[in-house]
Amino acid sequence: MSGGTCTVNGETQELAPGTTVAVLVARWCPSPRGVAVAVNAEVVPKSTWDRTTVAPGDAVEIVTAAAGG
């Protein structure tokens, strides 16, 4: 069975089965420093990224600091 898709920051992405949050973050960010993740509008704590699997259909948001505020 092939993996489905998820969205990351609004973009649809192929999702291999068993992909963890840590793997997704590593694709998008040179460093996890100053980065946070929400899956389906719930924060996934940094300490659990490498054991939290992303499921097909999940909406993932990867955020960091930007000029503003």
Q: How many CB atoms lie within 10 A of CB 69?
A: 4
| Residues from 12 through 31 that contact other proteins (CB under 8 A) | 28-29, 31
DSSP state of 14: E
Q: Which of 22, 35, 52, 59 binds other proteins (CB under 8 A)?
A: 35
User: Does residue number 51 form part of the binding site for other proteins (CB under 8 A)?
Assistant: no
Nearest distance from residue 2's CB to other proteins, in Å? Answer: 25
Q: How many CB atoms lie within 10 A of CB 57?
A: 11
How far is the C-alpha of 33 from the C-alpha of 17, rounded, in Å? 26
Q: What residues line the site for other proteins (CB under 8 A)?
A: 9-10, 28-29, 31, 33-38, 41, 43, 45-46, 61-69
